[in-house]
Amino acid sequence: MSYQLLKQDVLFYQRFLKANGFYDGKLDGRWGPKTDAADAAFVAKSQSVKADFGAVDAKSESNIVTLIPDAQIAARKFLAILTAAGKDIRILSGTRTYAEQDALYKQGRNGNTLPKVTNAKGGQSNHNFGLAWDIGVFENGNYVGTDSKYKAIPAMVLPQLPQLEWGGNWISFKDFPHYQLKSVSDSVADIRNLFENGTAYV
């Protein structure tokens, strides 16, 4: 999702901002002066992270800016490691609202003929909390979907970024393009509860 889409779901965005220390107002879904100030502070922090850790391609930038600051830092370090290794890797997905997650969940179900892409409904994915991103491998400017290309990436980055987890290590639904920042709990339900109450989860 884009940063502008993140802002459209005001209650979701307030939770996101409050849990990460930018907002101290009520979680009421109304865009007022406190939400505006928190948004400006979040944008300033994101710009600071970009200045400190380096800009990347436009597609990746549009998704990195939707992540929480700690995940933004990790994502930029992740891309820097792979760029130094001569890889063209781009971040194709970042934070999703619950509504966006529900729309993805519907793919491949109830008569939808598209392939299944997730087993997680809204509130059941770390993408919903600004912790996770999905990558695309590119060669000669073209997207590559071959699993083996994605399976080669973790060995290059995880030893240097132990704070990350890889979706390829999951048992029930392996997600080779998926990476996420570790949080205070392995339980997505616990993280969701913290997020919805505006409490820190990293």
What's the Cα-to-Cα distance from 50 to each of 15, 75, 76, 159, rounded to whole Å? 23, 11, 8, 23
Give the pLDDT mean for 141-167: 97
The CATH code of the domain that includes 191 is: 3.30.1380.10
4-18, 75-89, 144-158, 160-174: range with lowest mean pLDDT:
4-18
Residue 162 forms part of a structural domain: yes
In a 3-state reduction of DSSP, which class is residue 91?
Answer: strand
Spatial separation of the C-alpha atoms in residues 79 and 73, rounded to whole Å: 10
Its domain, for residue 86, covers 3-196
197: Cβ contacts below 8 Å, ≥ 6 apart? 15, 19
Residue 65 forms part of a structural domain: yes
What single-letter amino acid sits at 17? Answer: L
Residue 94 forms part of a structural domain: yes
Q: Which helix (H) or strand (E) holds 178?
A: strand 178-181
Residue 11 forms part of a structural domain: yes
Residue 202 forms part of a structural domain: no
Give the pLDDT mean for 121-144: 96
Helix axes 33-53, 69-84, angle to 10 degrees: 20
Residue 201 forms part of a structural domain: no
Tens of pLDDT, residue by residue over 89-121, are 999 999 999 989 988 889 888 888 788 888 889
Quickly list H helices, 9-123. 10-19, 33-53, 58-64, 69-84, 98-105
Spatial separation of the C-alpha atoms in residues 77 and 100, rounded to whole Å: 27
Query: Which residues, in sequence order, are bridge partners of residue 114?
Result: none
Total structural domains in the chain? 1
Residue 62 forms part of a structural domain: yes
Task: Note the pTM of the prediction, 2 decimals.
Answer: 0.93
Tens of pLDDT, residue by residue over 1-27, are 456 667 789 999 999 999 999 999 999
What single-letter amino acid sits at 173? Answer: F
67-81, 90-104, 149-163: range with lowest mean pLDDT:
90-104
Residue 50 forms part of a structural domain: yes
